[in-house]
Amino acid sequence: MKTYHRFFLASAVAVTISFWWHSRTPEPTVLAFRLGQTFEQVVRDSSYPAMKRSNRPAEDPGDHKFGAIWVTEPAVVIRFTDPKHGFTLPPTKFAGLAFSENQAISLATSPMLDPLPFDETVAILENLQNQFKAGGWQPWEKNDSTWFDLTPEGKKRLHARMFEPGYMKSTNLRVPRMYGMTFRLKCREGCWTREPPYLFLIDIGVGTDVYGWNESDSMRWQRPENAATGSSVQ
Residue 154: C-alpha distances to residues 59, 87, 191 (Å): 48, 24, 19
pLDDT tens-place values along the chain, 234 residues long: 444 444 333 443 343 333 333 445 568 899 999 999 999 999 999 999 999 999 999 999 988 999 999 999 899 999 999 999 999 999 999 999 999 999 999 999 999 999 999 999 999 999 999 999 999 999 998 888 999 999 999 999 999 999 999 999 999 999 999 999 999 999 999 999 999 999 999 999 999 998 755 554 555 545 444 444 443 333
Domain spans, the chain = 28-226
Q: Helix crossing, 118-134 with 152-161: angle to 10°?
A: 120
Task: Name beta bridge partners: 183.
Answer: 171, 204
Task: Name beta bridge partners: 100.
Answer: 103
Asked if 85 and 175 touch (Cβ cutoff 8 Å), the reply is: yes
CA distance 32 to 44: 9
pTM over 0.75, yes/no: yes
How distant is the alpha carbon of residue 65 from its chain centre? 24
**Per-residue pLDDT, 40:** 97
**Per-residue pLDDT, 23:** 43
Alpha-carbon torsion, ordered 62, 66, 69, 70, to 10 deg? -90
**Per-residue pLDDT, 28:** 87
CA distance 204 to 110: 6
Alpha-carbon torsion, ordered 6, 10, 11, 13, to 10 deg? 140
**Per-residue pLDDT, 218:** 53
Other beta carbons within 10 angstroms of residue 184's beta carbon come to 17
Asked if 94 and 109 touch (Cβ cutoff 8 Å), the reply is: yes
